[in-house]
Amino acid sequence: MNNITIEHILRAHKIIIPFIHNTPILTSGTIDQICKANLFFKCENFQKSGAFKIRGATNALFSLDDEEIKNGVATHSSGNHAAALALAAKWRKTKAYVVMPENSSEIKIKAVQEYGAKITFCAPNLEAREQGLEKVIQETGAVFIHPFNDPKIIAGQGSCALEFLNTQSGFDYIITPVGGGGLLSGTSLAVAAKSPKTQVIGVEPELANDAYLSLKSGSFVPAKNSNTIADGLRTSLGSLTFPIIKKNVSEIITVSESEIVLAMRCIWERMKIIVEPSSAICLGAILKKPQKFYGKKIGIILSGGNVDFNNLPW
Amino acid sequence: MNNITIEHILRAHKIIIPFIHNTPILTSGTIDQICKANLFFKCENFQKSGAFKIRGATNALFSLDDEEIKNGVATHSSGNHAAALALAAKWRKTKAYVVMPENSSEIKIKAVQEYGAKITFCAPNLEAREQGLEKVIQETGAVFIHPFNDPKIIAGQGSCALEFLNTQSGFDYIITPVGGGGLLSGTSLAVAAKSPKTQVIGVEPELANDAYLSLKSGSFVPAKNSNTIADGLRTSLGSLTFPIIKKNVSEIITVSESEIVLAMRCIWERMKIIVEPSSAICLGAILKKPQKFYGKKIGIILSGGNVDFNNLPW
């Protein structure tokens, strides 16, 4: 089913509804005044496991049958996908094995442990992560669940935009962050089917502008190693997500590190909610290009709220 | 109208409804698991001006006629009442004069300025504040609006519990912080009228345990100067609030500084919302006395979310 359609997203949504939150949509009069636009924030920072990632992980795990899943599931991730997979595996009553870079943030390690996954630490580079994962899979027989380049994951992440569009209509833009592109591609498919006049925009850090370069050149450009504060957005696009994004996303906007921090602080101060840098980046794009968004109705997916409070960027 | 009744609270609510948010009530599965109880959080941290204080201030200002208010309103406050009065004065189209200690937090000074109030700074002690206020009133003819010891303020703050009880019933406990006692006394009046089986509990810092000592001894005990992190709760009870609390509040629980910080971090991490120490203290009381609250249905008023992010307690 590499040709993912709205039917897959609807089915994913039906599968995951018993487990996830239909997260609230918040607005802020003050931020609307600052941006001179009408902003609607879909708060996946309030989602189970603290991020939208639980949508895809839950869909993936409940789409596998008992036989397929009997030896557990595995992934490598430094972040929210690891915690999501661990929690979804708990619900699915199977084991989760997670290969995490040894420099992962304490709060994310803690979350994965609390949900009962087995963690194997590795050196903080892609090669060590892939080798570590290979070894875990050989030893356990667990099924690999890719963080984004998987039709079930993409369909699951698309369910967030479905909920958004079930509540609000007439958006000029829907904006999501883009790392590997699971959320952005799923969102773009849902929006193309349900609200075709709405343009979908992806936002990424200037320091990890691979999606911008890929869309501009028309062919895949990998992400360089970067330490952008938006740690969920360091990844390259995947072979499944890139073509979907190429077809359905109108623009990628890049945002500097200081603009990300400014936007994060703005959301914390004005909305009194906690979002991680990878989520705040979407407001960063609006603050960066005010004339583009002036007077528009805009939906923003606040993707997650897992922040290390011992290591804040101010 | 020193004998404040539910009618005054209902009237206050009607007056302020066009201006304030009916704030959301949030729950957290994880915190319920930790506390083994059913907790409902009334999120006044999402309220206009970032705290419940806008309820009382708005009621006070819209209860005065144009003639009474023509020279503006004045108060002394280091915190949320100052910002609330400034915003309410803007709505009421009159001037606000605020005497603030020169060591007030930057974020609170900024808020008062943004809402257009005129600030006079003074030395950080009660005498200087009262003298500063006296001078401002003489010069301007502004009306003094006390932060809590005023029937209109108490009735306004009571409207929060009204909204709470309009949405949820069957609470065993409703818990609020207590500083000067405006919120606690207003809440206790609303609960006594609308849900008489619900017990109302006030929570204050061990370092500012004047309400605890007053209730225990039966006569007013003033607060000692303290630097509790819960900066909204450093004040003594007032001549109006104390008798109401004495009559309607079943218990005052005191919480240590480290317990306040732990509870604040728990809410930030688990609920992804920003509350100030003076609000987090209520969860601190539940974490401190788990056996008392085991299995109970509990309403907590999260009073505000104005936090100085440059000066976090961890």
pLDDT band at A1, cuts 50/70/90? very low
Minimum CA–CA partner of A310 in chain B: B314
pLDDT band at A145, cuts 50/70/90? very high
**Res B61: pLDDT:** 98
Mark yes or no for CB contact A272/B310 under 8 Å: no
Q: Which fold has domain A6-51+150-302?
A: Rossmann fold (3.40.50)
Q: Pick B272's closest partner by Cβ from A46, A107, A269.
A: A46
- With beta carbons under 8 A apart, name residues in chain B contacting A24: 24
- With beta carbons under 8 A apart, name residues in chain A contacting B46: 271-272
Question: Chain B neighbours among A 79-118 (CB < 8 Å)?
Answer: 107
- With beta carbons under 8 A apart, name residues in chain B contacting A107: 269
- With beta carbons under 8 A apart, name residues in chain B contacting A305: 272
Torsions phi, psi for A296 (to 5 deg): -90, 160
Q: How many residues does chain A have?
A: 314
Query: Using an 8 Å Cβ cutoff, are B241 and B149 in contact?
Result: yes
- Between CA A78 and CA A163 the distance in angstroms is 28
Distance between terminal CA atoms of chain B?
45
**Res B1: pLDDT:** 46
Query: Using an 8 Å Cβ cutoff, are B208 and B234 in contact?
Result: yes
Angle in degrees, CA A187, A193, A198, rounded to 5: 65
Q: Pick A268's closest partner by Cβ from B46, B269, B309.
A: B309
The CA–CA distances, whole Å, from B285 to A62, B6, B292 equal 40, 27, 10
Question: Chain B neighbours among A 118-147 (CB < 8 Å)?
Answer: none
Check for a shared fold between B6-51+150-302 and B54-144: yes
- Between CA A82 and CA A77 the distance in angstroms is 5
Residue A208 token pair: 């990890």
DSSP string, chain B: --S--HHHHHHHHHHHTTTS----EE--HHHHHHHTSEEEEEEGGGSGGGBTHHHHHHHHHHHS-TTTTTT-EEEE-SSHHHHHHHHHHHHTTS-EEEEEETT--HHHHHHHHHTTPEEEEE-SSHHHHHHHHHHHHHHH-PEE--SSSSHHHHHHHHHHHHHHHHH----SEEEEE-SSSHHHHHHHHHHHHH-TTSEEEEEEEGGGTHHHHHHHHSS--PPPP---S-GGG-SPP-TTHHHHHHHH--EEEEE-HHHHHHHHHHHHHHH-B---HHHHHHHHHHHH-HHHHTT-EEEEEE-B----TTS---
A314 touches chain B (CB under 8 A): yes
pLDDT band at A2, cuts 50/70/90? low
- With beta carbons under 8 A apart, name residues in chain A contacting B271: 46
Mark yes or no for CB contact B46/A272 under 8 Å: yes
Digit-coded pLDDT (tens) for A104-124: 888 889 889 999 999 999 998
Digit-coded pLDDT (tens) for A21-42: 999 999 999 999 999 999 999 9
Q: Pick B272's closest partner by Cβ from A269, A273, A314.
A: A273
A46 touches chain B (CB under 8 A): yes
Mark yes or no for CB contact B50/A272 under 8 Å: yes
Q: Tell me which residues of chain B have a pLDDT lower than 50.
A: 1
Mark yes or no for CB contact A272/B273 under 8 Å: yes
Torsions phi, psi for A238 (to 5 deg): -110, 170
Distance between terminal CA atoms of chain A?
45
Residue A13 token pair: 């949504």
Q: Pick A274's closest partner by Cβ from B50, B107, B273.
A: B273
Average pLDDT along chain A: 96
**Res A105: pLDDT:** 81
- Between CA A140 and CA A27 the distance in angstroms is 46
Is a pLDDT exceeding 50 seen at residue A12? yes
Query: Strand pairing partners for A253?
Result: A203
Residue A290: count of CB within 10 angstroms of its CB: 12
B222 touches chain A (CB under 8 A): no
**Res B2: pLDDT:** 64
Query: Using an 8 Å Cβ cutoff, are B126 and B224 in contact?
Result: no
- Between CA B46 and CA B58 the distance in angstroms is 16
Torsions phi, psi for B97 (to 5 deg): -115, 125
- With beta carbons under 8 A apart, name residues in chain B contacting A269: 107, 309
- Between CA A235 and CA A207 the distance in angstroms is 11
- Taking one residue from A and the other from B, the number of pairs with CB-CB distance under 8 angstroms is 38
ipTM: 0.94
Average pLDDT over residues A149-161: 98
Query: Which positions ≥6 away from B79 have C-beta within 8 Å?
Result: B104, B108, B231, B232, B306
Query: Which positions ≥6 away from B168 have C-beta within 8 Å?
Result: B25, B40, B299
What is the domain partition of chain A in residue ranges? Answer: 6-51+150-302, 54-144
Digit-coded pLDDT (tens) for A83-94: 999 999 999 999
Is a pLDDT exceeding 60 seen at residue A233? yes
Nearest-CA distance from B213 to chain A in Å?
33
- Between CA B25 and CA B29 the distance in angstroms is 14
B314 touches chain A (CB under 8 A): yes
> Under CATH, which number does the domain A54-144 receive?
3.40.50.1100
Rg (CA), chain A: 18
- With beta carbons under 8 A apart, name residues in chain B contacting A312: 309, 312
Mark yes or no for CB contact A50/B272 under 8 Å: yes
B274 touches chain A (CB under 8 A): yes
